[in-house]
Amino acid sequence: MGLRAERSYRSMPRLLQSCGDESLPMLSIIVPARNEAANLPHLLPSLQKLQYPGRYEVIVVDDNSTDRTADIAATYGARVIRLDGLPPDWLGKPHACHHGALAAQGEWLLFTDADTIHTSAGPAQAVAYAVQNRLDGLSLFPRQECRNWVDQLPLMAAFAGLFAGLGRRSSLLNGQYILLRREVYRDSGGFAAVRNEPLEDLALGNRLSRLGYRVPMMRGEEVAAVRMYANASQMWHG
């Protein structure tokens, strides 16, 4: 099963788009963040250095953090939204993404995790590819930086998810990197429509697919990287 999952992954198209010099629509980069003080100093500098031919904004949604997440985000010039509490019918990450989208001003919305690092041209490459191919969005599987056995476990789980989605790959989304047209997000119901789904990215992908939107899953090793957990304790607590 693991071998077939890896083959499925390697057969996915890879984003190698050159963005060129043409102006691109405004992009809102939305980062849901709960106790991400250790990760933001790696993510946010990469977003400060973007070569994006157009306007963009970075929104960090502080999801009831108990550390210095909000202060650190503000230090790097991000727009910070602080959430206080959680409605009973919501889970945390969909709630944070929902509020980030409500505050966003861009024509395109990029939802990305706090443990990602982006190349300077990466977001422009993704938006340019989606625009030029008339897509409703796209989702990427970034380079997964595995330095020990703990790091490999989430990657193995992701491969298993890819295997389970074989044959319906168009419905797969990876919550580490989801790019959507603003109107597609709005008209589909967005994260509000999957508010209590533990696997909100897969649920949203299935919803978009059922509604007929074109949001392909692609490999994005040259666009972004992720290191999910520093140790076993962090993996256990998510």
**Residue 169 structural domain:** 2-237
Look up the pTM and report it: 0.86
Q: What is the domain count for the chain?
A: 1
CA nearest 142: which of 111, 109, 94, 176?
176
CB count in 10 Å sphere of residue 16: 13
Cα–Cα distance measured from residue 50 to residue 67, given in angstroms and rounded to the nearest whole number: 27
Looking at residue 158, which CATH number applies to its domain? 3.90.550.10
How do the pLDDT tens digits run along the chain, 238 residues long? 445 555 555 667 677 656 666 799 999 999 999 999 999 999 999 999 999 999 999 999 999 999 999 999 999 999 999 999 999 999 999 999 999 999 999 999 999 999 999 999 999 999 999 999 999 999 999 988 765 544 555 555 555 555 455 444 557 899 999 999 999 999 999 999 999 999 999 999 999 999 999 999 999 998 999 976 554 334 333 4
